[in-house]
Structures are given as C-alpha cells and as structure tokens.
Amino acid sequence: MRVMDFQIKGDVMSSFSKQIILGILLLLLSAVAYSIHYFVFRDAHHIFIYMIGDIAFVFIEVLLVTIIIHQVLEDREKRNRLEKLNMVIGIFFSEVGTDLLAYFSDLDPNLNQLRGDLVVTKDWSDKEFINVSKKLKKYTYKIVPDKLDLEKLRVFLIGKRNFFLTMMENPNLMEHESFTELLRAVFHLTEELKFRDMIANLPDTDLHHIAGDIDRAYAMLVIEWLSYMQHLKDNFPYFFSLALRTNPFDQDASAVVT
C-alpha cells in the first residue's frame, strides 16, 4: 500500500509541476509578444490600454462561462438525467409495480379510506396531487397476513429478481432517493422469500415479519405511484391515458377504450 501511495503522490506532484512549468512558459511567451509589440510600435500606452481591458473582461468571461453557461448546461443535463430516471420508473411500474400495488391493496382491509383519493382523473390539478400525497403519507399501511398467498408472491418476485438487480445497477437512480429506497424494499422482500424453502408452513412470528416487509414496500409503492402519475400527466398524456385505464385502485378500470 505504501508503494502505491508514493506512486500516486509522485504522479500528482509530477502533474502539478508540469502545470507550473506550462504557466511560466505562457507568461514568458506573453512577455515576449508584448516586447515585440513595444519595439515595433514604441507605444506603451496602447499596450497597457488593451492589457487592462483584457484583464477587465476576464471577470465578465468568468461570469458568462463558469456561472451562466455552466448553470444552463448543468440544468439541461439534470433534466436529461431525470427524464431517463422517469423512464426507468415507468418500466418498473409496468413490469412489477402495478401488479404489486393491485396485490397488496387487495390485502389492505382499510383501503376504502383511500380508494376514492387514488382514482386519478385527467382533470386533476397539481394542487390535488399535492393534497392526496400529504394524505397518503399519513395513512397507516397494514395488510392482513392471513390472506397472504406467499407462494404466489414468492414465485412472482423471484422471477423478477434479475430485473431488480439490473435496475439497481442503473446510476441514474442516485438522482431519486425515495425510488431507490422503494427498490431496496421490494428487493429485500424478494430476498426474504427466496431464502424460505417451507413457505407454506411458516410460524405466525415469521409471517408477521414478512407482512411488515410488505407494509414497508406497499407504503413506498403507493406514494411513488402517485408521483409517477403526476409526471405522466404533465409530460406524456398518451402514457397517462393508459395509466388511468390500468389504475390498480380503480375497480372499474379497463385497458379497453370505450
């Protein structure tokens, strides 16, 4: 390790020394150019006028390049990253999330307290999304363990395990902490079920433990789903139309356009 540390320090020092030499060389070349100008035109006043003007413009250039232009490019890059992230979130709900929401919500005995709030329509305003989101964060997500079909859930989630692993490798997820936590919660539930061979004869203590993992994933799923619905409404009306017709909380939902 010490040899490697010395090597890294040596590379850094070497790079720093090259920069110093380059800086000195550029200053010398500038001095030579100004000297030639003076010997040819004998006009120091002209030299200093343009030198001071150029130096003064440096500060404006820094403002334009490092602050304004850099900020514009950074905002554009951030929008592109968020767009890619929302595509990933859309794939998640299409592949896994909507099915899980439908299954988990069927196990929620108090869902009727929320069902009306979760039937999103095309007329919803941003204020309605915000109000429902606040209500969802206060709701107690609790499924009934006795109604769980663990074998069915186990087969479904393990079948999507490689899909989860691929998603977790996506660097764009770092931009969205809450969705990353959701993905971890669902993957943790998958791992819990994967390591249980006798899934049909679990003790009540273990069944309630798994139910707790489901409650955690269920709560995150509902909140992220609503946020994704708002994103679709604002940006992709055709995807939003399909999402409305496949709403897992709408008992009358149908993908068929009538």
Q: What angle do CA 188, 132, 108 make, to 5 degrees?
A: 50
Q: What's the average model confidence in pLDDT over 149-173?
A: 89
Q: What is the mean pLDDT of residues 141-149?
A: 89
Q: What is the mean pLDDT of residues 189-212?
A: 89
Q: Summarize the confidence of residues 1-9 as an average pLDDT.
A: 47
Query: Over the stretch 13-54, which tens digit does the pLDDT of each residue have?
Result: 566 678 888 888 888 887 888 788 778 777 777 667 777 777
Q: Which pLDDT score, from 0 to 100, does residue 14 have?
A: 67
pLDDT over 60 (residue 8):
no
Give the mean model confidence (pLDDT) for residues 175-197. Answer: 90
What's the pLDDT band for 1 if we cut at 50, 70, 90?
A: very low
> Residues 231-253: what's their mean pLDDT?
87
Domain boundaries along the sequence of the chain: 2-74, 81-245
pLDDT tens readout for residues 72-101: 777 777 777 778 888 888 899 999 999 999
Q: What is the mean pLDDT of residues 95-117?
A: 90
Classify residue 100 as exposed, middle or buried by CB count within 10 Å of its CB (0-12, 13-18, 19+).
buried
For the record, the structure tokens of 119 come out as 């039937």
Q: The dihedral of CA 15, 18, 24, 27: what is its sign?
A: negative
Q: Give residue 2's pLDDT.
A: 47
Residue 43, both tokens: 């006009």
Query: Residue 200: pLDDT band by 50, 70, 90 thresholds?
Result: confident
More confident residue, 70 or 138: 138
Has residue 12 got a pLDDT over 70? no
Q: Between residues 179 and 176, which one has the greater pLDDT? A: 179
Residue 3 banded pLDDT, cuts 50, 70, 90: very low
Question: Angle at the Cα of 19 (from 17 to 25), degrees rounded to 5?
Answer: 105
Q: What is the pLDDT of residue 83?
A: 80
Residue 197: pLDDT above 60?
yes
Q: Cα separations (Å) of 46 from 26, 37, 41, 189?
A: 21, 10, 9, 76
pLDDT for residue 66: 73
- Amino acid in the structure at residue 205: T
Cα(153)–Cα(114) distance, integer angstroms? 24
* pLDDT (average), residues 206-216: 93
How far is residue 69's CA from residue 256's CA, in Å, rounded to a whole number? 48
Residue 86 pLDDT: 83
pLDDT band at 7 (very low <50, low <70, confident <90, very high): low
pLDDT at residue 27, as a whole number? 80
pLDDT at 116: 84
